[in-house]
Structure 1
């Protein structure tokens, strides 16, 4: 005869439910990071803040200046005399902070050897997509960058 608890549920059925629930919880905890890796979140839209990145006269071509807004690092590079670009420094692969390499004019990720061009596009490595670009404006002699709100 099957053993029953006070509610009339057989012990074996109770253990099946208990172990099944535990297994489902463990699987969900293991699959969450896999999902974050395969489909990285990118915030889009909404109002943007404008950051003053400084005057153009003190900014040689092929150099970068790093900034941080609300814990989100980004870099502004001077591509040519009249062209500036701004990118998030978070690698789209796993979020490591990329570094600007002036001699090669590339961003390099120290975690998994990802390399990005000065246009933010993937050159090599495991990143699934380009660096997140920000809009850059030159107003008079000042460089301004539109960044997502904090």
Structure 2
């Protein structure tokens, strides 16, 4: 069985079609499946000196990737 020009062109066009379909579908699947990004384990952050916070005040502080409200009450204790 000889490998004819027609078979060669059929294989070439079939491979090109498969490549094109893959190049269209890959970004769609990459968008639908988000990458796994590990989050940093944060146990403590530096928000500033205690004297910088007046009594009965609050400040938004970034704790890892999430914002946290840091509150200093009238007794001088901090709460998050």
TM-score range, shorter chain: 0.5 to 0.7
Q: TM-score, normalised by structure 1?
A: 0.34
Which protein shows a greater Rg? 2
Determine the structure 1 residue equivalent to 2:46: 54
Determine the structure 2 residue equivalent to 1:78: 68
Distance 1:44 1:75 in 2: 11
Structure showing the higher strand proportion among its residues? 1
| Count of residue pairs the alignment pairs up | 67
Shift in alpha-carbon separation, 1:13–1:26, aligned structure 2, 3 A: same
Shift in alpha-carbon separation, 1:64–1:80, aligned structure 2, 3 A: closer
Determine the structure 2 residue equivalent to 1:118: none
Q: Point out where structure 2 has 5 or more consecutive residues left out of the alignment.
A: 72-78
Task: Please state whether the residue corresponding to 2:45 is helix, strand or coil.
Answer: strand
Q: Please state how far the C-alpha of 1:28 moved relative to its aligned partner.
A: 0.8
1:35 aligns with 2:25: no
Q: Point out where structure 1 has 5 or more consecutive residues left out of the alignment.
A: 1-7, 67-73, 84-150
Structure showing the higher helix proportion among its residues? 2
**Superposition RMSD on alpha carbons, in Å?**
3.4
